[in-house]
Structure 1
Amino acid sequence: MSTTTPTAPRHGARVHVQKFGTFLSNMVMPNIGAFIAWGLITALFIEVGWLTSLGIGEGKGSWVAEIGGWGDFAGGGIVGPMITYLLPILIGYTGGKMVYDTRGGVVGAIATMGVIAGTEIPMFMGAMIMGPLGGWTMKRIDAIWDGRIRPGFEMLVNNFAAGIWGGILATFGFFVMSPIVTFIADKLGAGVDLLVENGLLPLTSLIIEPAKVLFLNNAINHGVLTPLGTSQALEDGKSILFLLEANPGPGLGLLIAFMVFGRGAAKASAPGAAIIHFLGGIHEIYFPYVLMKPKLILAMIAGGMTGVFINDLFDVGLRAPAAPGSVFAVYAQTASDSYVGVTLSLLGSATVAFLVAAALLKGERNRDEGDLTAATASMEAMKGKRSIASSALTAPVGHGGITSIVFACDAGMGSSAMGASVLRKKVRDAGFDDVTVVNQAIANLTDTYGLVVTHRDLTDRARQKTPSAVHVSVDDFMSSPQYDEIVELLRRANSETATPIPVQEAAVLGGELLAVESIVLEGRATNRDDAITEAGDLLVRAGAVDPSYVASMHEREQSVSTHMGKGLAIPHGTNEAKGSIRRTAISFVRYAEPVDWNGKPAEFVVGIAGAGKDHLDLLGRIAQVFLDPDQVARLRAAQTPEEVKAVLDGVPA
């Protein structure tokens, strides 16, 4: 069972460095596949590669060079353009998207192109600056005229604003940022060269190894080592810098020492942790072992220094970053002349770390086994969220259990809102008033929830966003048997329960959300698509949406069905169509003959246009109506729109 782990308050410079490093990592990690592709292409097609005769690596004399004009480009062909343009633009786009979704990503990519064109080195640092800057500034500019654009002009204003501002940022990047970033890169590169020339590179382990355990390594790895290593690899075909942090040898040595000389839970869990670390590349799996016995950082430093010394001695390197730091990833990126040195480095670093850790463990007087669970919690507190890998080290959830549940769908406003309302009532009725149940769009999920509920067609997408959570898939949003199973899961996971929340006072729906004119008691549609159009046209006639919103309702239905069960369907538009919504509103259509909705009967169709969150209360009330057979019977027997409103008005919040 997986749940969130309570974290202590986080303050100080360490936290800011962690957040900064995580931000940099989030720009690079989604694009590691592109780095791997570049590394493989480099190994295959450059002058000293395995398939150099094809002539597409460096581009000189090849048909690519002749057509594309890359013949005079340093490292042209495929290799040069990929590292010069593709990789930085991907990073810039990802950075902008993290700040302001796709729109921010596009502006961030445009801004990154400016800093790329202004320098002769791979502009990874520039991309990490210009990408987020483009997204952040575009978001602030859009906020200036948010809600002030006349209907019909939104696309015109948005496109021109992004284009104009992107062009300005690209110019700024070319003339201002590229010289600054080039200067910084040159100074950092000179510092690395100084360490290499004087044989001092192993001393970097004094910083890197403790930084890894404290989750400060991302700022060093992705902010400094990856950009400098990539530039070095472009010139020399490999870089030792990629091995400073990714070497899995020291962690393996530490875990083997626990396998032999450890005690209790640490000894029992070490073999599994070693497999996850060395083969899976998840280094954080060994962090709790060091935090449990801080003196073991000496073993990690000694092992790390040994690995760097051997790599430096044999002049080895990787062609591209090895991520995650698995032995497979390391060998996949190892330069063709470096396999012996890399192998000796792995063995040497693991051996030294094992010997030092073994001596420290054997030298303990009281042979205290340590508290691995507490150490894991401490690690997660520093990390700021639950660790997927470290869940293998600790026992199942006990006191505290699952405290947060999210019901997720594409838009986060329709089916998820109603499903969350149904589940929330069940959870409260069961006495779990300390368990929150919210709804959210999948795109906006963060890995902070204990349990995630989705339609079965969306579960895989949700799992990618929240891998630490328990995931429950449902088919019927209104009466899924999984809801009862979730309540039972809470009983098993949570050691304490609270008194059920009393029913709140009834609140009248009224207002403009559901106007009488938007209620139809004799729907004319005979199939799903016509029913969607009928509900959408009511929203258009009410002045709540632009006509284009109806098309987005059909588009939404193609991805996941909006049939909720209990004879109810709630068609609504996609996230991208929110610009077509003028105000929040709901329409209501009843059919004498239920409409076939993907093989399920839909007697009631509720069209939704949610501009904000003010419609969620109404959706919750509708959900409660359809859970009560008597209320459904009243809706079925209603003779006037006013009677429908009367049924909904009487439902408590």
Structure 2
Amino acid sequence: MSQDATASSGKPKTSLKAKVQKFGTFLSGMIMPNIAAIIAWGLITAIFLTPGGWFPNATINKLSGPALTYLLPLLIGYTGGKMVDDERGAVVGAIATIGSIVGSNVPMFLGAMIMGPLGGWCMKKFDDLFQDKIKSGFEMIYNNFSAGIMGMLLAILAQAVVGPFVVAGSKFMASGVDWIISVHALPLANLFIEPAKILFLNNAVGNGILVPLGIQQASSAGKSVLFLLESNPGPGIGVLLAFCLFGKGSAKSSAPGAAIIQFFGGIHEIYFPYIMMKPSLFLAVMAGGVTGTFTFQLLGAGLKAAASPGSIISILLMTPKGAYLAVLSGVLTAAIVSFLVAAFILKRDKSTSEDDDFASKQAQVSAMKSESKGNAANTNDTQVSGQGMDYSDVKKVIFACDAGMGSSAMGASLLRDKFKKAGLQDISVTNMAVRNLKDENGLLVVTQEELQERAQQKAPSALSVAVQNFMNSPRYDEIVANLKVAQQGTTDEKENSRPTTNSQSGKQEFGGIDFSQVKEIDFIHHDEHTGSATMATSMLKTQLEKAGKKTTVKRVSIDDVVDDKDRLVISTPETIKNLKTRYTNVQSLSVADLRDQKLSDIVERVQ
């Protein structure tokens, strides 16, 4: 971060983009943790609604009303309070929310999004004033009664003021939405929604604005088209299919896998880098979004509840009986228009593959220097930063995205698998929303470039790595290699610090190799030592045959090494150091010369 981006107090200034992201994420942060409850309500309504459900059941359908009126708003209020002041704020936020519910006759989602954070904020400020003044032994009395009294006062306020105010506001917004729909202007919303998604405001727009409005509309009309505006996978799949046919380099080769993840997995973030590397493709997703929403509105499409993630599977599960054709038509038309516009742009592009190649874009990510020490890289692309921390300090890795669910969960899973293969199981890998990050020692935070500023504000002491795409980043291999090097360096220091005795000299000569397990000896070959490796392989093989030993000898590349204890790899010190960063179980022997006399001693030890 540059010096002019730092305030005189030493704290980094927050850019306008980060402020907008923070506010939008705060709104969506109250909805996202409760998406499962919203889906449960939607499924109950879609399946058991009497009449109109797939399997009408009046008894089970009785769950729908209380869930909509009480359960969902209270969960949102509780979550909003917890975001501000942990458990005490959560409880007060829920108490305050019940006041807004009682003071209204509409689903009180907006009231919950007001009273939940307000309850947490009031509790936090009250504790800041009085908690330190409480005498020892009276803490429990203070904690319980202060929260109870604060919750009571806020519930009364919500019942008398907030509830009626939100009712009036909800009616006004509902009439506005109805008017926009009546004049067929709703598709124009996608001119804002599609670019906002790619700027990582997708959760803010979808879950912070459209979902609460959609739930209120669905509670009276049985479905809402608002649930489809942001979650429609059509625009994204259209762009990715265009890259499959007309892309260049690794952008083209990676697009089919990305299309599957985006369309069926619902992780829309995976197509964002494809748009960012060619900004003219914003026109493709905007055109696709407008077309899809127009089709939805024309055919009367809508969903029973929020579709999260935005997968075609979750969308179909939330589709009411009789509306499948309308929903699928909107997705299909959005995909077709997006594909046609993207194909036109890609085919007319005359730039070289180097300029337009997805691999080149990702290569900028891996070109950052100083990652082993966590120094800030002063570039316009991926940055690595940390305050005096290096990879030897890392004890925990956190993937942080806007909502802390879809894309970060996939990234964490990918890195967790790489850690397992590299023998780094002692380092935990988790995912969370960027708003929930806490500054702690030994932390490595992996986040998207657009969110790195906020991640650094939340955890300024952590080692921070920014990537363009959680699902396809070369930085993961670099993180693994750097951690392996750091661990190996620590191990080497311990080994070197041990005193040498005559009885141990034989073991130390061969680095503690367990020859009883060795079934194959591999010589690593590369450009500088191809001839030496070939000669050493031939010589050792001949000696083993003369000695009647069954151990096989091969010449292999470092990429073809089998990571097993029954393999002994022999090569130069530089190559063995590289080997240890990539493999965990294979045994190794470092020799300055591949024709070292030490090879003759190996014949006596193997079977």
* TM-score normalised by L of structure 2: 0.61
Q: Distance in 1 between matches of 2:431 and 2:44?
A: 32
- Does residue 128 of structure 1 match 2:131? no
Q: 1:260 aligns with which of 217, 236, 245?
A: 245
- Alpha-carbon distance in structure 2 between the residues aligned to 1:445 and 1:197: 37
Distance between the aligned counterparts of 2:352 and 2:367, measured in 1?
Answer: 28
1:330 and 2:323 correspond = no
Are the aligned partners of 2:234 and 2:332 in contact in 1 as well (CA < 8 Å)? yes
**Equivalent of 2:293, from 295, 308, 312?**
308
In the alignment, the residues of structure 2 paired with residue 458 and residue 143 of structure 1 have an alpha-carbon distance, to the nearest angstrom, of: 38
Go from structure 1 to structure 2 and tell me whether the alpha carbon gap of 1:41 and 1:159 turns closer, same or farther (over 3 Å shift): same
Quote the Cα distance in structure 2 between the aligned partners of 1:359 and 1:488. 41
1:48 to 43, 47, 51: 51
Of residues 38, 61, 69 in structure 2, which corresponds to 1:84? 69
Q: Distance in 1 between matches of 2:425 and 2:130?
A: 37
Q: Output the CA distance in 2 between the equivalents of 1:402 and 1:277.
A: 33
1:38 to 37, 41, 47: 41
2:38 alignment partner AA: F
Equivalent residues in 2 for 1:202-601, closer than 5 Å: 202-368=187-353, 369-370=355-356, 372=358, 399-401=369-371, 434=390, 437=393, 462=430, 489-490=482-483, 492=485
Select the structure that is richer in helix. Answer: 2
User: 2:58 corresponds to which letter in structure 1?
Assistant: G
The 3-state SS of whatever aligns with 2:32 is helix
Residues 441/256 of structure 1: CA separation in 2 closer, same or farther (3 Å cut) = closer
AA of the residue aligned to 1:240: V
Partner residue of 1:160?
Answer: 145
1:16 to 15, 19, 25: 19
Equivalence for 1:140 = 125
Paired with 1:81 and 1:255, the residues of 2 have a C-alpha distance of 42
Question: How many residue pairs were aligned?
Answer: 414
Deviation at 1:437, TM superposition (A): 3.9
**Which structure 2 residue ranges, 5 or more long, are not aligned?**
7-11, 376-387, 438-442, 447-478, 488-492, 494-607
Tell me if the contact between 2:78 and 2:91 (Cα under 8 Å) persists in the aligned partners. Answer: yes
Distance in 2 between residues matched to 1:334 and 1:137, nearest whole Å: 40
Equivalent residues of 2:80, 2:120 under 8 A apart: yes
1:313 positional shift: 1.4
| Structure 2 residue identity aligned to 1:90 | L
Q: CA deviation at 1:175?
A: 1.2
Letter in 1 for 2:220: E
Q: Does the 8 Å contact 1:372/1:394 carry over to 2? A: no
For 1:320, what is the secondary structure of its paired residue?
coil
Q: 1:457 to 1:105 in 2, by over 3 A?
A: farther
SS at 1:218 equivalent? helix
- Residues 35-57 of structure 1 show CA distances to partners (whole Å, capped at 9, x for unaligned) of 11001100122222446653225
* Distance change (3 Å), C-alpha of 1:469 and 1:292: same
When residues 438 and 147 of structure 1 are mapped into structure 2, their CA distance, relative to the original with a 3 A threshold, is farther
Per the TM alignment, residue 222 of structure 1 is displaced from its structure 2 partner at its CA by: 2.5
- Secondary structure of the structure 1 residue equivalent to 2:356: coil
Aligned counterparts of 1:342 and 1:436: Cα–Cα separation in 2: 52
For residue 21 of structure 1, what is the amino acid of its counterpart? G
What residue identity is the alignment partner of 2:483? Answer: L
Kept after mapping to 1: 8 A contact 2:233/2:310: yes
Q: CA–CA distance in 2 between the matches of 1:220 and 1:488?
A: 38
Check the 8 A contact 2:374/2:389 in 1, yes or no: no
**Which residues of 2 match residues 98-113 of structure 1 at below 5 A?**
98-113=83-98
What is the rounded CA distance, in whole Å, between the counterparts of 2:485 and 2:326 in structure 1? 52
Q: Does the aligned pair in 2 maintain the 1:254–1:299 contact within 8 Å?
A: yes
What does residue 602 of structure 2 align with?
none
| Residues 445/319 of structure 1: CA separation in 2 closer, same or farther (3 Å cut) | closer
12 and 29 in structure 1: CA distance in 2 versus 1, 3 angstrom threshold: same
Provide the rounded CA distance (Å) in 2 between the counterparts of 1:189 and 1:273: 37
Rounded Cα–Cα distance in structure 2 between residues aligned with 1:458 and 1:316: 50
Identify if the C-alpha distance between structure 1 residues 433 and 289 changes in structure 2 by more than 3 Å, giving closer, same or farther.
closer
Cα deviation, 1:574-598, whole Å, max 9, x if unaligned, reads xxxxxxxxxxxxxxxxxxxxxxxxx
- The one-letter code matched in structure 2 to 1:253 is G
2:59 partner SS: coil
The structure-2 alpha-carbon separation of the partners of 1:295 and 1:145, relative to structure 1 and needing over 3 Å to count, comes to same
SS in 2 for 1:147: helix
Q: Are the aligned partners of 1:279 and 1:327 in contact in 2 as well (CA < 8 Å)?
A: yes
CA distance in 1, matches of 2:371, 2:57: 59
Give 1:174's aligned residue: 159
Q: CA deviation at 1:268?
A: 2.1
Instruction: Return closer, same or farther for 1:55/1:294 CA change in 2, 3 Å cut-off.
Output: same
Query: Does the residue aligned with 1:325 lie in a helix, a strand or coil?
Result: coil
Residues 434, 261 of structure 1: CA spacing in aligned structure 2 closer, same or farther, 3 A cutoff?
Answer: same
Q: Normalized against structure 1, the TM-score is what?
A: 0.57
CA distance in 2, matches of 1:79, 1:117: 18
Give the distance between the partners of 1:325 and 1:459, measured in 2 at CA: 32
- Aligned partner of 2:223: which letter? K
Could you say if the C-alpha distance between residues 397 and 175 of structure 1 is closer, same or farther in structure 2, counting changes exceeding 3 Å? farther
State the shift of 1:152 in Å.
1.8
**Aligned pair in 2 of structure 1 residues 15, 436: CA closer, same or farther (>3 Å)?**
farther
- CA shift, 1:346, in A, is 1.5
1:414-464 Cα deviation digits (max 9, x unpaired): xxxxxxxxxxxxxxxxxx86558488999x9998999999xx999889556
Q: Deviations over 1:52-84 (max 9, x none)?
A: 6532255xxxxxxxxxxxxxxxxxx21111111
Report the alpha carbon displacement of residue 148 of structure 1 after superposing the two structures with TM: 2.3
**TM-fit CA distance, 1:468:** 8.8
Distance 1:159 1:403 in 2: 47
Is this contact kept in 2: 1:254–1:357, CA < 8 A? yes
2-side partners of 1:108 and 1:256: how far apart?
46
Secondary structure of the structure 1 residue equivalent to 2:265: coil
Q: Tell me what 1:97 maps to.
A: 82
Letter in 2 for 1:399: K
Q: In 2, Cα distance between the equivalents of 1:78 and 1:268?
A: 48
Which string of whole-angstrom CA distances, capped at 9 and with x for unpartnered residues, describes residues 290-334 of structure 1?
A: 111111111101111111111111101100001111111111111
Change (3 A) 1:148 1:435: farther
Question: C-alpha displacement at 1:399, in angstroms?
Answer: 3.0
